[in-house]
Amino acid sequence: MNRRPSSSGGARRVRCRCGRTVLRQLVGNRAALDVTADADQLTPAEAAALREPNRLDWCLRTTKAGLDLRWADCHRREAECTRPHVIDHQCTAPPAAAMPQGRRPRTTSVPEGQLTLG
């Protein structure tokens, strides 16, 4: 395995199955976490309000390579962070494995992941 995940890659903007634009990045040096976060930029206070035990927020830095997600350890400091924060994406697309048996969805001509945006 590669010991040093490339830190120059930064966050990638990708389209989630549910249609939202999200940021994906491996965050952390040793135990890198595969983060999928909403692309919406929040203030640190807004992001902190949305935090849950399994939903973290991330400090969003803009580097010359692009966007870079960092652990939001800035919450622990006294001076509040001035950078935008993003919050873990909570997908609204139904997990494929959780489809009830015997009730198959009607086949449509629209492939999954290309649902029309309201």
Q: How far is the CB of 94 from Zn ion (least distance, A)?
A: 10
Residues 3-32 that bind Zn ion (CB under 5 A): 16, 18
3-state helix, strand, coil in the chain (%, to 5): 10, 30, 55
Q: Per rule CB under 5 A, is residue 91 in the interface with Zn ion?
A: yes
Using the minimum distance from each CB to Zn ion, give the nearer residue, 18 or 48: 18
Contacts 24+ apart (CB under 8 A), 111-115: 112/17, 113/15, 113/17, 113/19, 115/18, 115/19
Task: Give the dihedral of Cα atoms 63, 66, 69, 70; nearest 10 deg.
Answer: -20
Q: How far is the CB of 97 from Zn ion (least distance, A)?
A: 15
Q: Per rule CB under 5 A, is residue 50 in the interface with Zn ion?
A: no
Contact window for Zn ion (CB under 5 A) among 37-45, 53-61, 73-81, 83-91: 83-91
Q: How far is the CB of 102 from Zn ion (least distance, A)?
A: 26
